[in-house]
Amino acid sequence: MRVALSQMNISFEQQTGIITGAASGLGRAIAQRLSEKGVSLALFDLNEEGLAATQAMLPGECMIVPLDITDESMVKAAVSKVADRWGRIDLLVNSAGITGKTNIKSHEVDTENLLTVFGVNFMGSYHTSKYVLPEMLKRNYGRILHIASIAGKEGNAGMLAYSASKAAVIGMTKVQGKEYATTGITVNALAPAVIRTALVDAMPDEQVRYMTDKIPMQRCGTLAEAADLALFIVSPSNSFTAGFTFDLSGGRATY
């Protein structure tokens, strides 16, 4: 019988955390798991209505912070607001992400769109970690999880902007994981294959088939599976892994 990690006895006593992209999809699913464990949460997203909907689903304490994570000054102010409210930040999950235009060859990529994708997927994660890390260093404890993608490991044809931005996230994870390895702060990434979310539903069918055909399990992952693994990665139990990209690809990536 499969026992969900969310049902295991993993303690998050008195912890607080920030989740980006919390208005929907994986960010919302992770927020639900952590809230069930008693973590006080700050939910970041541009979609204020979606944030309010997520907040209404959570059993625990949370605050919503509508913001554009590509705006460094907004992120700095938001992190300061969270630290002021709870006096600590234990967790950061960077789940905000966009695919941009897909199913196009590299020479057809619109530079403006590529920069937009990098702004959300890479710079957003850079901004939040930049300002959360000093808060974690005050207590020599923290867990940071960057949501990357199998596309960042292997590159998906027709998805230059998305694949390259997620590769950059994986590179940042390796650097940060090593830089803070002796501080009690771990920085890791999660590289899902196709997880059934609104983001995937918005892709062309041809693009989704291209990705699912590569998965030995021959199916999409579920939000519950992704949230369960994320729960472990940011838990106190995950104390000897840093700079690592966890696989969630149904057997597609075994390295």
Q: What is the pLDDT of residue 67?
A: 98
Domain assignment present for residue 147? The answer is yes
Q: In this structure, are residues 140 and 89 in contact, taking their beta carbons and an 8 Å threshold? A: no
93: in domain: yes
Residue 155 is predicted with a pLDDT of 93
pLDDT at 76: 98
Domain count, the chain: 1
For 75, the domain range is 14-245
The answer to whether residue 9 is domain-embedded is no
The whole-number pLDDT of residue 205 equals 82
Answer yes or no: is 70 within a domain: yes
Catalytic positions, please? 162
Q: Is residue 7 part of a domain?
A: no
Strand partners of residue 147: 190
Place of tokens 């992770």: 30
- The closest alpha carbon to 165, from 235, 77, 246, 98, belongs to 98
* Segment 136-191, tens digit of pLDDT: 999 999 999 999 999 999 998 999 999 999 999 999 999 999 999 999 999 999 99
Q: What is the CATH number of the domain that holds 39?
A: 3.40.50.720
SS3 63: strand
Please answer whether residues 53 and 23 qualify as being in contact, where contact means their C-beta atoms are separated by less than 8 angstroms.
yes
pLDDT at residue 221 greater than cutoff 90: no
Sequential DSSP letters for 118-176: HIIIIIHHHHHHHHHHHHHHTTT-EEEEEE--HHHHH--TT-HHHHHHHHHHHHHHHHH
Split at pLDDT 50, 70, 90, the class of 11 is confident
Element (H, E) at 23: none
pLDDT of residue 3: 46
Element (H, E) at 234: none
Q: Does 127 map to a domain?
A: yes
Within-domain flag for 172: yes
Task: Read off the pLDDT band of 199 (50, 70, 90).
Answer: low
